[in-house]
A and B are shown apart, each in its own frame.
Chain A
Amino acid sequence: MARKLNMRIWRGDSVDGALQDVQVEANEGEVVLDVIHRVQATQMGDLAVRWNCKAGKCGSCSMEINGKPRLACMTQVASYGEEETITVTPLRAFPVIKDLVTDVSFNYKKAMEIPAYAPPSDLKPGEARMQQVDVERSQEFRKCIECFLCQDTCHVIRDHEENKKSFAGPRFFIRIAELDMHPLDTLRNRKQTAQEEHGLGMCNITKCCTEVCPEHIRITDNAIIPMKERVVDVKYDPVRWLGSKIRKREGIV
């Protein structure tokens, strides 16, 4: 049941570019990445697009489809109307390299700024004991496939290049939350530094990041909001702060 699909594909580089119209065959069950590949193999051999797994697991094929940040390998062609034109453009928050490929190095730089996991110094390999309920909170954030769609959609940096310096973005808020909630992590001030150094304070909880996350991580409800609340707590209640850190160490036998 092949049909002709009308597509508009952004082509160009950091200097200049434009949408190009193409017609391409689409078969039953295909995703947007499939038709992009068909365009590549038959009409535009040098069309640049990133992808790896084609199964929603690696987070490489991020782009904007009809203006929405999405994984091309997880977006069914059939989810658009028969007559609808599918428009694909590169992620807007990052500089274009070529066609659908953007320079996402911003994210790797931000990853470098977050202090690493710090287990207790006397913990020996194989001796960690943690309960499933306790690891599950951090595990939710470790599902992140680093597609950076949340980063792309967040209005704080989407059209505000100037904010990038002081704002790590939702991907890295969940990374901080993950370490903060890790039953064995010993670093004490993760929430404070999230607020003071990584720009948590600039987030005004619009939840757009949660909406686009293909892993359905509840970025705002489970990471951002709890951290914001606790930062306030900590500022006013030093005793509770100490308590929370002591509780964290209970997991170690």
Chain B
Amino acid sequence: MSELERHKFDVVVIGAGGAGLRAAVEAREAGLSVAIICKSLFGKAHTVMAEGGAAASMGNVNSGDNWMVHFRDTMRGGKFLNHYRMAELHAKESPDRIYELEMWGALFDRTKEGKISQRNFGGHEYPRLAHVGDRTGLELIRTMQQKIVALQQNDMKTFGKLWIEVFAELTVTEILKEDGKVAGVYGYWRESGSEVLFEAPAVIIATGGVGKTFKITSNSWEGTGDGHALALKAGANLVDMEFLQFHPTGMVWPPSVRGILVTESVRGEGGILTNIKGERFMFKYIPDVFKDKYADNEAEADRWYLDQDKNRRPPELLPRDEVARAINTEVKAGRGTEHGGVFLDVSKRISAEIIKKRLPSMWHQFYELAGVDITKEPMEVGPTCHYVMGGVEVVPETAAAVGVDGLFAAGEVAGGMHGSNRLGGNSLSDLLVFGRRAGIGAIEYVRANEAKSVSDSSIKAASQRIEAPFTRTGGENAYSLHAELQEITHNLVGIIRTKSELVEAIEKIADIRTRSANISVTGGRKFNPGFHLAFDLDNMLLVAESTAKCAVGREESRGGHTRDDFPGMDNKWRQVNQISSFDGQKVNVRKQALPSIPKELFDLFDVHELEKYMTAEEIAKGGSN
């Protein structure tokens, strides 16, 4: 075999989405050498698809907004299962992260006073989402991509060489450790199939989500849970993997576009949901905990668009889990469209001209892909797997992965921040806040710890794993196994879950995993998607196992986890995180106490509201000190 390609850096960032890029900027600006590795071309990461906006309580549109209001909304949205400290840091730091992007050249939409404009979104009390039409993620990615180019230009000018490099179309297959500490990562170039070793004392995982584990999803092919699986295998924990967000509005027709996201801004801009009988059904689905915030009649809901201080908001803007379940129920009750969706209509609310201006890519998407003109007709929509709340257990301040020295995780791959349900817009700001914090965590770690060199035996093992599927012939086909897995998760671990189905899912996933050990790949190593999928599938299987096992464990319904056999929320379960770990053979799940909320944050809420979520003893304690 030819000589192995080797690199040495201070920090390796896996992932070039919002979180990875923000972490990389931080580390480079502190003077460290940084590698950014990603599976796609630079600038194409999943973040590019984010539409609605980034939540930050700048108070530009309603001066009543501040971090405390944002914090409360985030905790409510997550049904108080959030790690309070992450939600607090996020709420406090988001505005600065948005302003910083503007300093790097981002051009957000403006208010009349020339400030950054902010839009309404589900679960946010005030207009809070900084946005650029409906392509906010593209703005975020491009701004940071260009910031990194600027850092590179500066490196060339000052040092005549790059200290921050992008390794695009390279898949990481392993996080390598020596003496219990992170020593680097191993992977292969997608283009050539040849192998690469990166030695680095600190590794930041920023690999995004897991949507491709499911059949109907808004995620791109990259969302295969690689970081979740890499972390598990490296000895880190995943927290609360049962919580998956099914976005209420994905496209449903034609089949080829099933799952593609219809941004929540459509509802933010006035879109209403109706069933096949023409009923505006969301009024029937307002849960008790939200009764005082959401209008229970059309007249008030309509008035809200004109006067938001005097009226309660329309129920279309309830948190996503509520809306997704409502649509699911309508369709199951036979009140859905022939393609299994419901109608979402903005055409009667705002003029064609404004629709095209505020929702340009939605107009484009429906017109080109479904032949529907949303300025004239309603859209057909239904739930789609969108976001994973669960993820790597981290220390909030530094984004350090609990249990593995030198490993950090930020962005969608990290857990805790969003509790059982994420509010729209809170992810983009999460990427920035915790991307930066992971950068800082890695900087501090690198300064305090020596780099370790990777042993030959570790290299050999990693390399053998990559070679394995080529050495087999006539084995299983990765594409069919993937399709089988998606069928199982969709049918048995979907929006509404029940014990017997989950148990069945766990068995079936284990069976696929056994068979996947026998995958064989046709063709050579060069840009071979069949070979790539074999590795992605391995990750998806671990994620699915963890999700199914956590789902069976949690005997209540909360946020992105609904149990048919335990339909209510149980305040005792609010005190529990489920922690997944990997023993080399299987995923094990144990219970762990949620960190209790300190008094100063406890006091931000009305006690009567907390009574809906907390046990009497917790209320009596009034928060910890």
Contact = CB atoms under 8 A, between A and B. Distances in A.
A206 interface: no
B44 A58 contact: yes
A116 B191 contact: no
A37 to B, nearest CB: 9
A27 B139 CA distance: 34
Interface stretch (A42-50, A150-158, A220-228): A42-50
B42 interface: yes
B41 A104 contact: yes
A121 to B, nearest CB: 11
B522 interface: yes
Of the listed residues B117, B254, B524, the one surrounded by the most CB atoms of chain A closer than 10 A to its CB is B254
Contacts of B382: none
B253 A182 contact: no
Contacts of A115: 153
B418 interface: no
Interface residues of B, number: 67
A128 B117 CA distance: 12
A57 B221 contact: no
Interface stretch (A139-147, A159-167, A191-199, A235-243): A139-147
Contacts of B48: 52-53, 57-58, 145
B543 interface: no
Given A29-B254, A52-B220, A57-B138, A126 B105 contact: no
A125 B100 contact: yes
Interface string B106-118: 0111100111010
A76 B367 CA distance: 11
Given A45-B521, A111-B149, A142-B142, A27 B256 contact: yes
Interface residues of A, number: 59
Interface string A214-253: 0000000000000000000000000000000000000101
Binding site secondary structure of chain A: loop
Given A125-B103, A129-B113, A101 B220 contact: no
Contacts of A131: 110, 114
A49 B257 contact: no
Interface string B150-180: 1011001000000000000000000000000
Nearest to A141: B107
Given A45-B477, A48-B528, A99-B527, A251 B44 contact: no
Interface in B328-384: 361, 364-365, 368-370
Given A27-B256, A132-B110, A74 B369 contact: yes
Contacts of A98: 191, 526-527
A123 B103 CA distance: 8
Given A48-B527, A51-B221, A97-B527, A128 B102 contact: yes
B222 interface: yes
Interface in B46-103: 46, 48-49, 58, 95-96, 99-100, 102-103
Contacts of A47: 529
A207 interface: no
A53 B220 contact: yes
B260 A52 contact: no
B368 A56 contact: yes
B46 A119 contact: no
B297 interface: no
A97 B524 CA distance: 14
Contacts of B368: 56, 74, 76
A251 B114 contact: yes
B531 interface: yes
A22 interface: no
A99 B113 CA distance: 52
B407 interface: no
B135 A46 contact: no
Contact of A13 (B222, B479, B526): B526
A130 interface: yes
Contacts of B142: 142, 144
Contacts of A29: 253-257, 369-370
B43 interface: yes
Nearest to A137: B107
Contacts of B311: none
Contact of B114 (A40, A55, A116, A129): A129
Nearest to A108: B42
Contacts of B95: 126
B600 to A, nearest CB: 26
A101 B149 contact: no
A131 to B, nearest CB: 5
A57 B49 contact: yes
Contacts of B108: 135
Of the listed residues A139, A142, A144, the one surrounded by the most CB atoms of chain B closer than 10 A to its CB is A142
13 contacts: A29-B369, A46-B530, A52-B220, A55-B261, A56-B365, A116-B149, A117-B146, A126-B96, A128-B102, A130-B114, A142-B138, A143-B138, A253-B114
Given A46-B522, A57-B138, A125-B103, 5 more contacts: A48-B526, A58-B48, A116-B105, A128-B102, A132-B110
Interface of A: 13, 27-31, 34, 40-41, 45-60, 74, 76, 97-99, 101, 104, 108, 111-112, 115-117, 119, 123, 125-126, 128-132, 135, 138-139, 142-146, 179, 182, 251, 253
Interface of B: 40-44, 46, 48-49, 58, 95-96, 99-100, 102-105, 107-110, 113-115, 117, 132-133, 135, 138-139, 142, 146-147, 149-150, 152-153, 156, 191, 220-222, 253-257, 260-261, 361, 364-365, 368-370, 477, 479, 521-524, 526-531
